[in-house]
Amino acid sequence: MPKQIRMPKLSDTMEEGTLIAWRKSAGDAIRRGEILADIETDKADMEFESYTEGTVHSFLIEPGACVPVGTLIAVIQLPGETPEQVEASLSGTAEASPQAPAAPRPAMATQAAAPAFLPATAPATPVGEMGPMAPAGPRLVTPFDLDPDRLRATPRARQLAEERSVDLDELEGTGPGGAILVADLEAYLQQLESQAEDPEGVRATPLALRMAPDLGVDLEAVKGSGPGGRVTKSDLLEHVKREQSRSAEREAELFRGTLQLSQKRRALIRNMVKSKDEAPHFYLEMDVQTDALREVRDRANASSGGDGAGRPRLTYTHLMIKAAAMALEKFPDVNSTYRGDDQQIALYDVINIGLAVDVQDELVAPTVKHCQGKSVFQLAEETNALVQRARMRKLQPADYADGTFTISNLGMFGVDRFYAIITPPQSCILSVSAIQQRPIVREGEIAIGSLTTLGLSVDHRVLDGVKAAQFLGELRRLLECPEELVQDVPGLGS
């Protein structure tokens, strides 16, 4: 039997995958562990390894196709099999698939002469007790159309409806099988004559008046064709159909095309909507002077240039991660999450800081793990490695997992201030804006200094304003007195 390859579930939250490229061609030999395809999941672009040996027989989807997990995507011909055997096996599988049972034919199709209805008083006769058959008599002719898709009405009722411009869809028949009779039509017309005047002066049938609010239609915009120029159900539905057609035409004029969302973008949208729906956000901001931070950064980079230590060059982002880790250690309540099912707040035992990164028009947030106790240079090395993998689109699901706090930095784009959306299930996210030259007051004198604005988005279920303000104040203190950020680095600490 050939091996059927199906779309794999490459992450816990993956529901569908997009094929980026096949690494093999039909007819190629493949060994266990070789890369068969590149697949985009909701977390990352991943390599899919073959778990069997053989020859690639066929591919069932093209690159760019997005299919649910479990969908058949390829067939591997096993050693010893021939292409003919594979084809026969696949054909046999298709033939063995259960087919839906054929729908029974309606009784009217097999008994064309049967009456459309029987008197209600005629009792059913058990098959075993049937007496002699009655002599053949004249066939009962039905007084209305038996087509189940056509509204049932007597010919005279149809003729009268056409003469009086009545929409038969508005009526409920009282005849056999729900057929509309002349009496039904006359009663309906009498009802219209006694209908109260609409407060807004709109002439419409009672059914159209009930339907219009549900369809969101202004009856004044609908031309009526019913008795006395009234708007009927059919007029209403035709109006809706025309408006939908016009809407499609307007859309074609407004838009020049669409963009296909990647799996990661879809996951991001789901998470952001979930966050705003479930987490009551509130926001704080503080201005931070960064002159001392720049001096510490420049001194650290100068000292690492010629000491042979091979330390990475520090950036403001590296120092921000270090400061956030230290502030989270001091305020562990910030490093927590709300559990709605248990009505509890769970405190994380580790500090894993996610860093929002824009990669080829996609936002990702790889996570620097176990930040507590690490030096700023250790954090810089791990951050640089994650960012490099992100830019090469080589991040794995584990690189995104288990974040407890996130930093989003738009300072390099000149943004004055902003507030990011909390990443579920975290309770806070820090937004970092551009460093700018601004007038500040120092010891009663106005001077020019470098400042940035930090914004903190907070889940009010987890933290109140006081605790969040204390955390943000500690973060500002560490950045304005940054010697603590490098005190564990030989040659830099005070």
Give the active site residues: 460
Residue for token pair 């564990």: 488
Amino acid letter for position 35: I
Both tokens assigned to 478 = 């560490």
Of the candidates 208, 213, 209, 164, the residue with the CA atom closest to the CA atom of residue 187: 164
Rounded CA-CA distance 346/333 in Å is 9
Instruction: List, in sequence order, every residue forming a beta bridge with 204; answer none if it has no partner.
Output: 231
Instruction: List, in sequence order, every residue forming a beta bridge with 439; answer none if it has no partner.
Output: 448
